[in-house]
Structure 1
Amino acid sequence: MAIDLWLKLNRTVPHGHLSFARSRYTGTRAGPGAVALPASVLAALLATQPPLRAQPLPPPPSRGAPLQTVLFLELVVNERASGQIVQVLLRGGHYYVGAAALQALGVRTGTAPEADVAVDQIAGVTMVYDSIGQRLRITVPPDWLPAQTLGADELQRPFTAMSSTGALLNYDLYANRADHGAAQTSLLTEQRVFGPWGSLSNTGVYRHASRGDEQGYLRYDTRFTHADTDRVRSTTAGDLIAAPLSWGSAVRLGGLQVARNFGVRPDLVTYPLPRFSGQAAVPSAVDLFINGYRAGSESVEPGPFTLNTVPYINGAGEASVVTTDALGRQVVTTVPFYVANTLLKKGIDDYSLSLGALRRSYGRKNFDYGPPATSGAYRFGFSDALTLEGRAEAAPSLAVVGAGALRALGAAGVLNAALSRSQMHGASGSRLNLGYQYNGRHFGFGAQHTARSGAYADLTNYDTAGLRLSRHSSQVNTSFSMGDAGAIAAGYFDVQGADRQRTRLVSMSYSKPVGRQAFFSVNLNKAVGQRDLSLQFQLTFALDDRSMVSLTTVRDRDNTTAQVNYSRTPPTDGGFGWNLAYANNGSSGNYSQASGTWRTAVTQLHAGAYAQGRASATWFGANGSVVLMDGRVFPANRINDAFVLVSTNGVPNVPIRYENQVIGRTDAAGHMLVPGVPGFYPARIDVDVLELPDHMQIVQSSQRLTVRSGSGALLRFDIQKTLAARITLVDGQGRPLPVGWQVQHVQSGQNAVVGWDGLVYFEGLKAHNELLVRGPGNIACRVNFPIVADQPQVLRIGPLTCRPDAVAQTALADFKRLPGALPIWRH
């Protein structure tokens, strides 16, 4: 013991300086920590020490030296626990902390990081020492803390767009026959082939009439389209429409087009949304209310914050930001805002470039193309309040350039202006566009004016002999919403043609809900400077979700018409709907109509008859689609955009859900077509596992996918048939095996536990099966049984006798024969 004590002291006491009462205090008072040893022990230690040399004692502490206490505390800044335990020196009544630790939490110390700072001496900072919680609570101005951005400028990036290889035929058949024997039939079709490489489509109509020259097939458009979701653009080859700006004119070309297509990324918000900023002194909850409706809620840490969680809105409104701290104290900030979806966010651009030949005689000739032409447009978000625009067109002897801008006027609306210059065959012209738009909760106003000089030309009248554009056109519209009192809308239209003839029209309307099931409206249209006048009154009753009755009276300059209409739409999942109408047209004769629509899962049929005066006619129609995919043909209702073909691995009659709604069941081959899926929309499709038979298993019952526009995707659910059984196990005396014994299926390695009455359940069984049973005390037995592979349901097997396992029993017998072996189990 003496040697051990000597070694411990030798590590702390320098040779030649023996001090067994060392103070751990830096102040003037001696503290605990002295070591007292018996004299015999000291003598023994001194005998083994080298000769001592006289050493001077350390100087005594000065009278003015301050007391210092070391604390280890957690820093809490603005009621937010940092989780950091730091050394705090209590000296002279002040609390000193390393500047680096404070600066990392947003506290502005004004010193070097390696310095110690008295927290309670920093200007603008308050501090409380929490002795019970061992915390140092620091409160700083909120603007010292890091800024936070809640929400994101764009939604979650969508899934990779899918497209399987397949073909599609859309058809719309219409046939009518008049009472005098004239008949005509038309079949509008779209042929579409699609795959991961894109979509190739062709549209046209076949016409047959008992009289007239409009016979045969007429082609409309043939085009190839490919969408690039990474670059947010589309490439089109074939018949296309040159995408103009709002102050341009659209033309049809045959050629190539490359254009920005925000439709392939519906998660992107291209127009600027308002951002609301605030400060939180402590951890708080922030609620955003738009026009009185709660639009979002977020949790914020202390410090300044910015909300980006504004929903997709348009027009003027009022936002309230409500900040609530842990004590329930609230701060409400209300600000007005204005959102214009015609603007682009800062840094976002939009473009379109088209090259090709002008399309002639569209809708009258199959292939008629004119001179080469090009058209381009570009938009750029210079700032959230300013969007710049430009356009250019060119053809032989024609050049058009233009520039424009849209400017947000704060909460007062958006102003737009554009100027274009053209030169064709040596003649120059100009076009000026000015406009203003404001949309509010209760009031809306818009005005647009276009002025063209006489020599102005562009691609719309370049290849059309004798077509001259209007000289001036103006329109003004306004609307007032009065809540339950109804809404008023008015408009004024003024157009002056190239021949200087002027047409002016004034329109006014008033609408009001009547109770919960009715709606009343009145509309007035008046040509300024002429006697033409039209006044319409309409009262509509909603009988239920699908049935509606409307009463209409129309008064014009020469006649008064009264009409009653009763309609019932067919259900979306299939059924019958109809429309009945009768009108008293005065001198032109009464009008009556009756039609019906029958919607099925594979097509929609409609037929009807109408009569006016002595003339009458009957008509019939059908529309739908035929899809070729996965080696089979699937009839369906008309598919205008994208679709999904669900496959359940050959399992029939499986319920399929689309966006949590059951839309049908798989057919005998395990397929179901889901039409009407929007392109590039992240659709969710589920298998209703609650209705799957017990012997069926599925690894993934819900999938979300995005289908390319104009394409189809094959979605597979791997449903497997499995052999399952409830097995009753008994021992050699026919008694059920005890609860809790372990059972292993040898072929698959599955483990289970024996339940009441000796029952055990296994899935994935084989034609020949073996079970290994283990109980306490090394009891082991085995069961062997066969199963017919084509069983349609969960089997009930047993009782099966569990025979003792030979290997385990032999080992146990050898153990019992050992000298002195004790009984360790009983059967």
Structure 2
Amino acid sequence: MRRSRATEAVALSLAFAALGTSASAQDLPLPDLKAVETMREDLQLEVWINGRNTGLVAAVAREADGRLEMRADEMRAVGLSAGGVGLVDLSALRGLSAAYDDVGQRLMVNADIDLLAVQRFNLAANRDAAGAPRQDLGAVLNYVFSADGGQVDDNDDLGVQSLGLALDGRVFGRFGTLSSSVAASRVGDTGRIVRLDTTWSWFEPRRMMGLKAGDYINGGFAWTRPIRMAGFQLRRDFATRPDIVTMPSPRLATTAAAPSTLELYVNDTRILSRPVGAGPIEIDGLPPGQGYSDVRLVLNDAAGRQVAVSAPFFATPLLLRKGLADFSAEAGFARRGFGVESGDYAGSPIASASLRYGVLDALTVEGHVEAGAGLIQGGGGLTAQVGGLGVVSGSFAASRTDDQSGALAAVVFDSRFAGFYLSGMSMRASAGYRDLAAVTSRPSFYRNWKMGGDEPPRAIDQFTVSTPLRLALLMRKGEAPVASASYSAQTAAAGLRRQVWSGSLRHTFGERLTAYLTGYVSRGEQRDTGAFLGLSVPLGSRSSSSAGVQVQGGDTTAFVEASRAETQADGTYGWRARIEQGAHQGFEGQAAYRGRNARVSAAAQYADGAVRGQLQVDGAVAWL
């Protein structure tokens, strides 16, 4: 360890005294304290590790005996592993050698792999990157005007039959945002105006918080049923921070034996390439895409050697990143008849709250409670990741009203196994289970001599499977054809069960032709079957044409269609034309033009002797 100046001065004084009495005190030179100081040098050196320039400068102490010392935090900053605090004698570290290059003013270090600090690359955006947003005063009014008319048969007059106007206005500033929307319509001689939502909103991006007063939709999960409410709502709002990735992201780790070039691929698309030094490497913060992803890390050194690490990863919004919380809490009154009545609110106060928390990247817990209108309901669940195969979620809830109680259980899974993508959900509710949607809805039917409302379904089953078909004959050009099948069934509270089976097959031949086949079968109160076969050919960057045959309910119809896609730029246009022949005969045409001040679209239809037309103008007026 370095000696203090006082200790060195005392040692020199004792050395002079030991010379004996042959020389008088006045003949002996006094110790030069300034010379003692120069025996230790404080240097600022460029650091090289294992022959690679780190591009960093560190503070290095060079003692009188030539030993080199660095502070532990300086060592970690330049890429060397060090524990604790204070000065570290580099010569005392086994597996590390350091030399001072006086001419180049460099510190030349050779270190074993285990003495190199982990090189961490976090690709996630900085949580503190978003500053305070501007809160300028402004206002905007969005509008949509529509006119609809036609002629059903030869005896009817051709003319306008209905008019519609929708307005959505907002005023915003430091006080938040005050918004309101209304819809007005006139059909024949009857006109009406309906208020939709009126809400005051305030957001705090740094805390990702949102506060609402007025009309809103309460929070919940896949196993709950949201309702419209009026009152107050406090919730986490990730939309205020688009730089925050809420889903867990994959992590990769490897070790570079020599200076190399690191390349990172997600689904065979390179998203990162940079030089790295020898030593351990960790990559975190990859922005995941929903569903299955294959992540690959490749190291290429100067000798041409390559090291690759692959990791399958399944991303889903069902999971929250570790330590992240999502919540919503509401209190107020239930709203009914939205879009039909301007202000139909139930008389009983109600409240609800929801919470999700990422315990681990692979485990998220959730809870939900509802109360009011004679109901107490609560439940919870958890979602767990099963390696890179997918996730499984399980939930349970119970409810109690004045005269009955019940329970609900649900299971959700998303998975990828042996090239198959599987997803499904199954839910069961007992006859006495209720929620706020049921107890606050308008009674509309009798059951057991009592009026009933919007009761939850007794059973829901959904299942989807898809996979690319590895058929050599079809894969000579283009991607592999993708086949999918799905099944869904729902049993209503009254006992009626409806089931739907569907399937599809899609394949692109080269870059010019896409073929698709879909079909479905439904069973329930009404039975129906249908199939659709089509071919699509692009005609340019924005235009395409297609032809196909549709079979539904025993009727067969063939069609030919051409279209040009509309863009968001001013002065652009789009159109679509379709001709049908067979069980149904007709023509349909649509056109749209996007100008600087408004977008204008028109549509005309002729089907089985009836003529219909529609004109729509939408735009906005803003003051900023």
| Structure 2 length-normalised TM | 0.80
Which residue matches 2:515?
A: 520
Which residue matches 1:579?
A: 576
Q: Does 1:143 align with 2:138?
A: no
Q: Work out which of the residue numbers 253, 263, 269 in structure 2 matches 1:293.
A: 269
Which residue matches 1:711?
A: none
8 Å Cα contact 2:373-2:439 kept in structure 1: no
Which residue matches 1:426?
A: 403
1:110 Cα deviation (Å)? 12
Opposite residue 114 of structure 2, the aligned amino acid is D
1:152 Cα deviation (Å)? 4.9
Q: Does 1:392 align with 2:369?
A: yes
8 Å Cα contact 2:408-2:429 kept in structure 1: yes
Looking at structure 2, the residues matched to 468 and 365 of structure 1 have their Cα atoms a distance apart, in angstroms, of: 21
Looking at structure 2, the residues matched to 145 and 220 of structure 1 have their Cα atoms a distance apart, in angstroms, of: 62
Which residue matches 1:97?
A: 67
Q: Does 1:323 align with 2:319?
A: no
Looking at structure 1, the residues matched to 84 and 176 of structure 2 have their Cα atoms a distance apart, in angstroms, of: 63
> Matched residue of 1:171: which SS?
strand
Q: Work out which of the residue numbers 583, 593, 602 in structure 1 matches 2:588.
A: 593
Moved more, 153-162 or 361-370: 153-162
> Residues 17 and 615 of structure 1: is their aligned pair in 2 closer, same or farther, counting only changes over 3 Å?
closer
> Residues 131 and 514 of structure 1: is their aligned pair in 2 closer, same or farther, counting only changes over 3 Å?
same
Looking at structure 2, the residues matched to 191 and 282 of structure 1 have their Cα atoms a distance apart, in angstroms, of: 62
1:368 Cα deviation (Å)? 0.8
1:84 Cα deviation (Å)? 6.5
Looking at structure 2, the residues matched to 360 and 496 of structure 1 have their Cα atoms a distance apart, in angstroms, of: 24
Q: Work out which of the residue numbers 343, 355, 362 in structure 1 matches 2:331.
A: 355
Q: Does 1:547 align with 2:519?
A: no
8 Å Cα contact 1:109-1:117 kept in structure 2: no
1:379 Cα deviation (Å)? 0.5
Which residue matches 2:459?
A: 472
8 Å Cα contact 1:99-1:111 kept in structure 2: no
What pairs with 1:252-651 in structure 2 (closer than 5 Å)?
252-308=228-284, 310-325=286-301, 329-370=305-346, 371-439=348-416, 443-464=420-441, 465=443, 466=452, 467-482=454-469, 484-527=479-522, 532-571=528-567, 572-586=569-583, 589-627=584-622, 629=623
> Residues 626 and 325 of structure 1: is their aligned pair in 2 closer, same or farther, counting only changes over 3 Å?
same
8 Å Cα contact 2:124-2:287 kept in structure 1: no
Would you say how many aligned residue pairs link Structure 1 and Structure 2? Answer: 560
Query: How large is the RMSD of aligned CA atoms in angstroms?
Result: 3.8
After superposition, what is the alpha-carbon deviation per residue over 1:81-131, rounded to whole angstroms, capped at 9, x for unaligned?
Answer: 6766765899xxxxx835767996478999999997866xx6545789999
After superposition, what is the alpha-carbon deviation per residue over 1:272-316, rounded to whole angstroms, capped at 9, x for unaligned?
Answer: 111212234555432212232212124444443321252332333
What pairs with 1:743-782 in structure 2 (closer than 5 Å)?
none
> Matched residue of 1:244: which SS?
coil
> Matched residue of 1:461: which SS?
helix
After superposition, what is the alpha-carbon deviation per residue over 1:342-378, rounded to whole angstroms, capped at 9, x for unaligned?
Answer: 2111111000111111111111111110022112100
Looking at structure 1, the residues matched to 375 and 300 of structure 2 have their Cα atoms a distance apart, in angstroms, of: 64
Looking at structure 1, the residues matched to 548 and 457 of structure 2 have their Cα atoms a distance apart, in angstroms, of: 35
Opposite residue 297 of structure 1, the aligned amino acid is S
> Residues 565 and 98 of structure 1: is their aligned pair in 2 closer, same or farther, counting only changes over 3 Å?
closer
Which residue matches 1:800?
A: none
8 Å Cα contact 2:321-2:361 kept in structure 1: yes
Looking at structure 1, the residues matched to 319 and 289 of structure 2 have their Cα atoms a distance apart, in angstroms, of: 13
Looking at structure 1, the residues matched to 542 and 255 of structure 2 have their Cα atoms a distance apart, in angstroms, of: 50
- Identical-pair percentage: 27
Looking at structure 2, the residues matched to 386 and 151 of structure 1 have their Cα atoms a distance apart, in angstroms, of: 21
Q: Work out which of the residue numbers 116, 125, 131 in structure 2 matches 1:154.
A: 125
Looking at structure 2, the residues matched to 117 and 149 of structure 1 have their Cα atoms a distance apart, in angstroms, of: 24
> Matched residue of 1:161: which SS?
coil
1:232 Cα deviation (Å)? 0.7
8 Å Cα contact 1:471-1:497 kept in structure 2: yes
After superposition, what is the alpha-carbon deviation per residue over 1:502-523, rounded to whole angstroms, capped at 9, x for unaligned?
Answer: 2222110001113323321110
1:552 Cα deviation (Å)? 2.6
> Residues 170 and 109 of structure 1: is their aligned pair in 2 closer, same or farther, counting only changes over 3 Å?
closer
Q: Which structure has the larger Rg?
A: 1
What pairs with 1:175-254 in structure 2 (closer than 5 Å)?
175-179=147-151, 180-181=156-157, 183-210=161-188, 215-254=191-230
Looking at structure 1, the residues matched to 306 and 412 of structure 2 have their Cα atoms a distance apart, in angstroms, of: 43
Looking at structure 2, the residues matched to 184 and 134 of structure 1 have their Cα atoms a distance apart, in angstroms, of: 84
> Matched residue of 1:484: which SS?
coil
Which residue matches 1:165?
A: 137
Moved more, 397-406 or 435-444: 435-444
> Residues 111 and 503 of structure 1: is their aligned pair in 2 closer, same or farther, counting only changes over 3 Å?
closer
Looking at structure 2, the residues matched to 429 and 17 of structure 1 have their Cα atoms a distance apart, in angstroms, of: 98
Q: Unpaired runs of 5+ in structure 1? A: 1-13, 19-49, 54-69, 91-95, 630-713, 715-827
> Matched residue of 1:162: which SS?
coil
Opposite residue 464 of structure 2, the aligned amino acid is N
1:622 Cα deviation (Å)? 1.2
> Matched residue of 1:143: which SS?
helix
> Residues 115 and 177 of structure 1: is their aligned pair in 2 closer, same or farther, counting only changes over 3 Å?
closer
Moved more, 609-618 or 447-456: 609-618
> Residues 363 and 245 of structure 1: is their aligned pair in 2 closer, same or farther, counting only changes over 3 Å?
same
Opposite residue 563 of structure 2, the aligned amino acid is S
Looking at structure 1, the residues matched to 114 and 485 of structure 2 have their Cα atoms a distance apart, in angstroms, of: 49
8 Å Cα contact 1:77-1:105 kept in structure 2: no
8 Å Cα contact 1:164-1:196 kept in structure 2: yes
8 Å Cα contact 1:170-1:191 kept in structure 2: yes
Looking at structure 2, the residues matched to 369 and 111 of structure 1 have their Cα atoms a distance apart, in angstroms, of: 64
Opposite residue 172 of structure 1, the aligned amino acid is V
- Which of the pair is proportionally richer in strand? 2
8 Å Cα contact 1:77-1:138 kept in structure 2: yes
What pairs with 1:10-159 in structure 2 (closer than 5 Å)?
77-80=49-52, 97=67, 105=75, 123-124=94-95, 138-155=109-126, 157-159=129-131
| Structure 1 length-normalised TM | 0.61
Looking at structure 2, the residues matched to 569 and 111 of structure 1 have their Cα atoms a distance apart, in angstroms, of: 63
Looking at structure 1, the residues matched to 338 and 85 of structure 2 have their Cα atoms a distance apart, in angstroms, of: 77
Looking at structure 2, the residues matched to 561 and 424 of structure 1 have their Cα atoms a distance apart, in angstroms, of: 52
8 Å Cα contact 1:317-1:440 kept in structure 2: no
> Matched residue of 1:460: which SS?
helix
> Matched residue of 1:450: which SS?
strand
8 Å Cα contact 2:249-2:285 kept in structure 1: no
Opposite residue 228 of structure 1, the aligned amino acid is E
Looking at structure 1, the residues matched to 89 and 48 of structure 2 have their Cα atoms a distance apart, in angstroms, of: 18
> Residues 440 and 314 of structure 1: is their aligned pair in 2 closer, same or farther, counting only changes over 3 Å?
farther
1:326 Cα deviation (Å)? 5.5
Looking at structure 1, the residues matched to 213 and 87 of structure 2 have their Cα atoms a distance apart, in angstroms, of: 67
Moved more, 589-598 or 447-456: 589-598
